[in-house]
Structure 1
Amino acid sequence: MTVGYVDVWTDNIISGWAETPGGGTPAEIRVEIDGRYVGSVLADLYRSDLQRNVGYSIDISNFPRGLARKMALRVGGDDLVLRPTGADSAPERATHSLYGGMWIDRDGWRDVLDGKISRGEVDDALAQQLVDFERDGYIIIPGAVDKDLLDRLNRDIEDVWAGKVDGLKIESYSVDIGLLRVVPVDNQYRYGSTKLLDPHLRLSSARYATSAPRVVKFLEAIFEERARAFQQLCFTMGSQQPIHKDTAYVKVDGNPMSMAATWLALEDISEGTGELEYYVGSHRSPDYVFGGISKWMEHSPGQHEDFLDSLHRDAEQLGQKRSKFLGHAGDVLVWHADLAHGGSKITNPGVTRKSLVTHYTAKSHSPFYMRSLNHKQVEVNGVSFTSQYGEINA
């Protein structure tokens, strides 16, 4: 009979030892999350206390906090299952993704919505938005940001590029030499493949625009609590970024799929400027699992190209339509954490595509960077704003 024991089970590491009958071959440790297989290791590490190679160690320090409570180790086939003390019980209803999600991502979500409607928690307009979001992976809120606030934000952004605002950085990519820079704001890079990082760090107008009432109402509906805004990217030109999913790069602790993003049109967007494009319904494609165990690309960077290719394969196999967002100034598109999206090819060079992207999670969750950084947060219109680049100017 296979035997197995756990010595350590934390949010960072799971270790112990296991042995097959007779000890002829190493025991296989199959890792499961909520009952679904995600990977395996062999118990073949040397244990000085046992004087044989029967140890195992699983590093989960780069996984979301709390995931360890959902894990189980199946040792030697189906014979023995090890769980942490205080393990979470099976979820009430399974989410579409192995890596969690919001209530709209769970089986039976429509029954939950009907209950919210009957209790008066959700009005007809919001209910339709939720239905559309669950089906398509995005919604559009026309005129979500009023003209006066939008004009103020655009003036503030111009001041940033004119060198009148300190403390902000840009990320700029030089295609010709393949160089990615993160440097203080420099106007010479503005009209290339450049992102202004976290303008909400210094611009109150960015915080107010991305916490507009109709946007906040929807975010609070999908999170079932207040929202946390933790990353912003401001563009002058189209990014032409390949179609991707945020969940591969933008890391949320506690529940990687409890995330949404907004794309605010800072001007009327015209075709050919590298406008936002996406595969409708792609948030319901199967998980792409890096290294056999993680939603996050950094766990297995060598798979990145295959990951990007898989999004197009999924779209073709599942009949997901490729669509574009040609928004008017003040319009906001809200997308699901797992919607496949990117910047379309620029066919009208020299024409701007001014936009502001913001990533949010539920306030009870945190971006991964908050494990090591604890910068002051500022609340605006019920949204908690934080940045990895410093303290927010209130």
Structure 2
Amino acid sequence: MPNPELMPIGVFALRSGLTPSALRFYADSGVLPPAEVDPGSGYRYYSAEQTARAILLRRLREIGMPLTAVEAVLDAEPEDASRLIDEHVEKVVGNAATARREAVAIKASLADVPSLPVGALKGPVLAAAVEQVLTATACDPGMPVLGGLRIEASPEALTLTATDRYRLSTRTLVPAEPAATTWAATVNGDELRAAVAEIRRSPLVRVEATPYGVWLRVGNREGRVGTGDQHCRLLSDEFPDYRLMLASLGEATTRVTVSKERFLRALEEHPGSRVTLRVDHGGIHVLPTGDAHPEIPLSAAVTGQAVRIRFELTTLYPAVSTAIGPDMLLDLRGPDQPVTVRSADRGDLTALAMPIHPGHSA
């Protein structure tokens, strides 16, 4: 008779999430042998101590890890196991990126659709602009367009815009080579992030549009896919009407010029997840969250009305950190209206940050 503390294969399958047939396969492979096999019936029995190994085995297989690698992880110390998992994920991600690039090239050859030149920009400039503007995106499964970057091209300029409804960031660039016509679309933000490292290394990047995506070409290879060229898919959902949002903003009632470095340092030193600012002719005061933390005063040039305004740190900090230049300009319109953040001497990058409504509980 089997040990009464052991589980038959059906019970162990339910507990581990593996099917009985999978358990038989892993037993025959030597990865997860049963604790006991009845010599007469051949029935397999498992112990409760084997449950954790079985669950880990299942989870590793769910991420596509080969059986030999799974066995190595199961028998490794935690540090080595983590390294092996990281190596597997890195390989999977690399294979997926390669497959995506090849799929794009194949589709382009099948469709035989010529690309539309959208403009050319210096690679480091374009990479920096993409990183700055993408700080205003959000991962929202219900509205994937909020994770995208709106690109609008004309012969005079190329404008990048992103918004998550609480923040908005937009930057206008002067192309090194202008577009022949106007064009606009929303590009997958995650794929643009992945492309940044490559385009930053290119002196010149040509942006070309197709019906299904944009090519970022890092050399003089129009119409041909090069090893460094990057492709990003388009998002089909309608992008929020940010121009209407900007046009509907009221006049600033308070204007502040402050050192970006000092403002960032104050936000970093602030211990809370929400930041309250008191702005008056004495400057900006980052208010404490409790008696244990002192107020942080900042020297600033202030004109207009005094105002007290509160932000989520995750909303305000990116808007401040991506500002261009040593000094930044804040246009405030009251405690419940968007704040405009831009460089004190350059206007090609503008960010909006939505404060917490005064009636919202702390």
TM-score, length basis structure 2: 0.23
Say which structure, 1 or 2, has more relative contact order (CA 8 Å, 6+ apart): 1
TM-score, length basis structure 1: 0.22
* Structure of higher CA gyration radius: 2
- Higher relative helix content: 2
